[in-house]
Structure 1
């Protein structure tokens, strides 16, 4: 038989190994053993029998593990998948402890392992420290996979996975620095100082570059029209380009770069990924991570030389001992020191023990040791590291599950356990509701339907008994209140996601709503109960400090005004979203309570809190609708347009499925509709009529001027911005200005002996002060007060007189117009007085 060419042989080997990995995965599910540990054992088995089976020997020789294969093929996938799916809220809450373990913890572990090996074995101090750095990087793949099976606490998973992600980068950077010192042959103070500087440049530089690349990738994803191919491909490019550019071009940490890109896209960028693509994206990275882990651990097992390990067993024991001692000191001595800092939630003994025993070693350690080219101790180091990795996988990996069970950490949370009971209850209630519809369809035995109805009722009774026992044994009033409140907040969060997917709220507003909601959820989970927070800071407060600081008479004034309108606009949308979300929860809570698993007093307590929040949002909306009616109108118009577009999209999809509309035509129509819907997402800044020349045209005094003359006068107008309740003109103070309202409401009022009298209201386009502008000098008996945040333009008599002196023709027209206006006002005033009657006069 003719031998296969190298490339086909390599492809064949890869997919044979993938089939082996799938078989091992099935075995792991049935046996309950850690999947990665079984992969290593199978790999060792393949290596052990390869000498007697030619096909296995060819497989082993065709694909050998190498540092480049680990670093540039497997590692970007594994790091990106982990960081993308990491709970960023838990990561942020535990960031101090994670960084403490990843940086000072790894440095301490490096020193401890190095000193122990230096004293026990005939190896130099720097070389021993290098081995310590290699063995200090943890690999949580096997442990996290087990945690997901047994439902271990989320905080424990985040601590272990977060430490591993960050200390991988630390180990690689420290190893590079120690290799540089070994090349020189001596240690000096300048080298140590330079090493510290290099460490922070590599570490922080890699993270910053990864975050920047992830941000750019997120921007591109947000501009795409729900295209799964482009969006998924961009995440692949972000993962690998971050690593490659950081390592090969910028010479900073590729691990930190990929980590930063994954964290940013998994948190900030997740909203920008289309809802229809998110599930596909998660499945894709799950498959890619599975393939990478499967091949990596199989190859690891296949590279194990059992004879070499047997010859070095005594040295491996010293290495394992040093590794365990250093890990224990880091977890049980260093970590509690950081737990004492203010604002840090301590890590309990059970969590610390699992973090100690679950600190397995894996791919990073092998990649570093295999990359030691032309190094005298390389063969010895490869054997020692391989032995240490095998010990952690086979001994610690196989015993981690019993240890979890012994410490009681394999139990699901109270919320998850209650949800499982209620799932059975709700499922069988739904089955009872649907059985009659099945009978109405005909040809279905009523006896069989009755039997299933009876079984479902028995299951409901059984679920109710379980819930009752669970409540009596596990739940107090406060715990049950928190659980029901968390469920209500989750319902609100789900509704916000639906509103965002439908385009009813913008990305910025969605982030602000989730920020408040996540804070409430965190307070319930980790704080002291429900916190009544107002996350929608009122716009007047920000305007008062920010916009007044910038002022009306600065070159930035047009930008400030646009920022002001933008801020009010976003605030309006957030309040509207909160109103809709709280109202949805109020309507949904009764259905949740009908599961008969939550006491009525708890339901009423949560309902009362959401009614309070809904009333607050309603009051704010009424006030905003009064202050900014143009925003309310625009909001309603855009909402109506989105509803129509969504209906057209749904109809197009239904016709395509039924075959009444060609698939290609349906896709083109939907792309066009989606583009229109995307343009209507959220609430953009309204185009307000803020041209002073147009406003002047509406003033009767200037009605007969030319466009050139109007533009000349408009150039002399000054913009003003008033806060709510600001006084523009005080009664009794003379004014020589014309005021034209651009937006907002101004109230004209007068104080008399009988009290304050409301005279009239000025809205957008109205003006006041024409007579004073043209020279009438009298003490006004009127004050002007802003009823809403208001923008207006003013024209002073001095500026107008200068223009009139330069243009006599314009001055003549203005004087004639002023005389006509005075005559009209005079006739109107006489008519008004003529219609007034003395008190007590008879009606005609």
Structure 2
């Protein structure tokens, strides 16, 4: 019990130290992780020194407690690594990372093999230990610590693409390095001859199996989110369990890489859960995981640093020489990958060009940390490795970690500054000036308005406004955005801004909980494709990606065929509802984007560019409205029911927001709020029910509404209905053309068509009819008719109609009378 109390006390004290070091790191402009490591080493050194001092019992007891902290390598890897990896992966934009997939995989996998080989071969002639031990050391120091690397690059404000490359590499790098480490460790401890083929097979199984496990685990986690019904604490608890479940399952039960499984699970869960969690739920989840990462990262650095005196042991001058060789070999190995292996990827168009400045920073920024120390510690715990072999590995690995943290880590910011990577590009500088000018002008005007409202003296207002006038003059003197950037670049910039804003608006609609998560996921995916299209191909790429969502998906076509040939309605009803909700949200988003363009982008990018952007948005809005109208015409009653359902869910969400506001303001108590919430939840469940889709049409009722047949009796209509033939029209198919001879009239059983006249367009839907004059005069068609969706048409051909009239001569006379009343002579 006493040991547990001491343990909790020490951990708590270390957390206090970690929290105090964060503002100090900002003040000193040093990475937080570097200070943590420095303090950890200092505490360990102080405890070792105090153990030798007599006469101060309290200090000696404290030193004994710190020195007595006992952690093995498994503790670091099992307790801290899953949380740190998962949090780093969770916050990564997978879509953006995939843009640099080739260089990331090169740095994360190929570079590990190169580093292991180069370091091992460089140390072998000098270290006095077997080659396999040198290779083992190479695999240990090939691990770039995710916590150290990502935190430092973010802290120093590195460019976004550079951070993305480092994030991707640090996530996947450990998996390959740890897999190689265990293969080499097994060779050393077993005493068997190395089997390269078996080693390669084990490595492939580790990586492939871990990837598959991570995907499956994350998919299961995402699938469980709807079951939690928006309870944020439950959602966070699920994510806290997920990395440890996949890590332990992979490492200890399935024999695959738990590190890879956790990294992949974080990426997949982060990509799939944003459309399942509400925006506030995601923000809460992100905040909790940021705190978890801070706690785990702080503790792992300090605790790992406390091991340094133990791992260094006795250090000789020869060890210092070997460390210099190790550092040089590691830098050479990294430079070989970046400067020799990376350019071919650019030539093969597998990667965008990476500048030499980026390559230099990536070479110098390969920081090591707790993972490397944990693997070195595991060597001391392994049986079958000689004492001198263990000493060489642990001393050099520990020295290398200290070198990368205290030398590379502290000089990384000056290196980035020296290479000019901290400066904005001319494009971003011009945007910055324009944004500043507009923002400062707004602030200056608001100062004047506030001063007038509160009746401050004019001299006070002028004194506050004067610095703003000077800053506005400074930024506008550099020239306007229109002068510095071409129209084409401003259009691309505007399209990218619209794509980013579209993503935000989709997430806002997700927060209103009016549509399902899979619809939001599809809209977010399309917004990402639009963003990529704008970046790579400008306006053409933007429009091409925007049109993708208009296509009928395979699931819809399959559901339509299932209904048409098997009479099964439920899948089609589901697909129609999803498509209706998708285009309804898309239309609302586009209307807001048009306002955003006028309100925000027009002052920033200029009138001409804003007008072009407006045309692009108007075209998208017209296409979405057309698709929505087509559904309304195809299934009018169902579309109306879906509209009511959408509005009802929106009203319920706003009702709940109102109750939450009353509760937060203290106007209603907890008991009343819970009662109101239960009522809203009950009505929400009712609103979630999808209305019934009725696709059955009465052929007799269809025929009866045609004026040409309104004199026929019910039994006569039934006889006429028997001669109708079914015909399928595909989307965008023009099945009637102007000038063609009319040979049939049509009834729309399902679907929607557009009648294209010279002066206007008319849309017809389920239950409507057209082309009846072909039965009377057989003259040329006066309009094109285009199918807007899949259409099932009932065709009444003129030949069949004439046979029907010959078999029913009494009906023929009445039809002739109706034709004469309309001023048309029927041609038999």
- TM interval, shorter chain, is 0.7 to 0.9
Describe the SS at the equivalent of 1:346.
Answer: coil
Describe the SS at the equivalent of 2:313.
Answer: helix
Structure 1 residues 249, 452: CA separation in 2 closer, same or farther (over 3 Å shift)? farther
Alignment pair present for 1:270 and 2:283: no
Alignment pair present for 1:38 and 2:35: yes
Structure 1 residue aligned with 2:506: 496
Structure 2 residue aligned with 1:251: 255
CA apart distance, 1:578:
3.5
The match for 1:21 among 18, 22, 27 is: 18
Alignment pair present for 1:744 and 2:751: yes
CA apart distance, 1:252:
0.7
Cα distance in structure 2, aligned partners of 1:561 and 1:66: 61
Structure 1 residue aligned with 2:401: 389
Structure 1 residue aligned with 2:595: 587
Q: CA RMSD in A?
A: 4.6
CA apart distance, 1:33:
1.4
Q: Please give the per-residue CA displacement for 1:694-731, whole angstroms capped at 9, x wherever unaligned.
A: 88999999999xxxxxxxx99xx999754355879x99
Cα distance in structure 1, aligned partners of 2:787 and 2:495: 39
Alignment pair present for 1:366 and 2:373: yes
Cα distance in structure 2, aligned partners of 1:548 and 1:651: 41
CA apart distance, 1:795:
14
Cα distance in structure 2, aligned partners of 1:31 and 1:272: 41
Higher alpha-carbon deviation: 50-59 or 107-116 = 50-59
Cα distance in structure 2, aligned partners of 1:249 and 1:406: 49
Q: Please give the per-residue CA displacement for 1:33-75, whole angstroms capped at 9, x wherever unaligned.
A: 1211111111111111114232541342342342112111110
Relative to the length of structure 1, the TM-score reads 0.80
Cα distance in structure 2, aligned partners of 1:838 and 1:60: 105
Describe the SS at the equivalent of 1:531.
Answer: helix
Structure 1 residue aligned with 2:217: 213
Structure 1 residues 536, 512: CA separation in 2 closer, same or farther (over 3 Å shift)? farther
Structure 1 residues 786, 36: CA separation in 2 closer, same or farther (over 3 Å shift)? closer
CA apart distance, 1:639:
3.2
Structure 1 residues 838, 542: CA separation in 2 closer, same or farther (over 3 Å shift)? closer
Q: Is the 8 A contact 1:727 1:783 kept in 2?
A: no
Q: Is the 8 A contact 2:444 2:468 kept in 1?
A: no
Q: Is the 8 A contact 2:495 2:539 kept in 1?
A: no
Structure 1 residues 432, 699: CA separation in 2 closer, same or farther (over 3 Å shift)? closer
Q: Please give the per-residue CA displacement for 1:116-168, whole angstroms capped at 9, x wherever unaligned.
A: 12222211122221111111111253443333234321111111121111110
Q: Is the 8 A contact 1:43 1:299 kept in 2?
A: yes
Q: Is the 8 A contact 1:50 1:60 kept in 2?
A: yes
Describe the SS at the equivalent of 1:446.
Answer: coil
Q: Is the 8 A contact 1:24 1:38 kept in 2?
A: yes
Alignment pair present for 1:401 and 2:407: no
The match for 1:577 among 572, 578, 585 is: 585
Cα distance in structure 2, aligned partners of 1:128 and 1:466: 57
Alignment pair present for 1:511 and 2:496: no
Cα distance in structure 1, aligned partners of 2:763 and 2:628: 22
Describe the SS at the equivalent of 2:274.
Answer: helix
Q: Is the 8 A contact 1:152 1:411 kept in 2?
A: no
Structure 2 residue aligned with 1:226: 230
Q: Is the 8 A contact 2:219 2:269 kept in 1?
A: yes
- Equivalent runs, 1:60-459 vs 2, <5 Å: 60-187=66-193, 191-305=195-309, 308=313, 310-311=315-316, 312-372=319-379, 373-374=382-383, 375-376=385-386, 377-412=389-424, 418-419=431-432, 422=435, 425-426=438-439, 429-430=442-443, 432-433=445-446, 436=449, 440=453, 444-447=454-457, 451-452=460-461, 454-456=463-465, 458-459=467-468
Higher alpha-carbon deviation: 519-528 or 144-153 = 519-528
Q: Is the 8 A contact 1:425 1:459 kept in 2?
A: no
Q: Is the 8 A contact 1:106 1:136 kept in 2?
A: yes
Q: Please give the per-residue CA displacement for 1:529-579, whole angstroms capped at 9, x wherever unaligned.
A: 763423455899758x99889996x89944886555655554444444333
Cα distance in structure 1, aligned partners of 2:144 and 2:713: 79
Alignment pair present for 1:688 and 2:707: no
Structure 1 residues 762, 292: CA separation in 2 closer, same or farther (over 3 Å shift)? closer
Q: Is the 8 A contact 1:114 1:129 kept in 2?
A: yes
Count of matched residue pairs:
777
Describe the SS at the equivalent of 1:533.
Answer: helix
Q: Is the 8 A contact 1:520 1:530 kept in 2?
A: no
Q: Is the 8 A contact 1:214 1:262 kept in 2?
A: yes
CA apart distance, 1:232:
0.5
Q: Please give the per-residue CA displacement for 1:452-474, whole angstroms capped at 9, x wherever unaligned.
A: 46523641551353154275799
Q: Which runs of 5+ in 1 are unaligned?
A: 705-712, 749-754, 769-777, 797-817, 840-844
CA apart distance, 1:636:
2.7
- Equivalent runs, 1:578-657 vs 2, <5 Å: 578-593=586-601, 597-630=604-637, 632-657=639-664
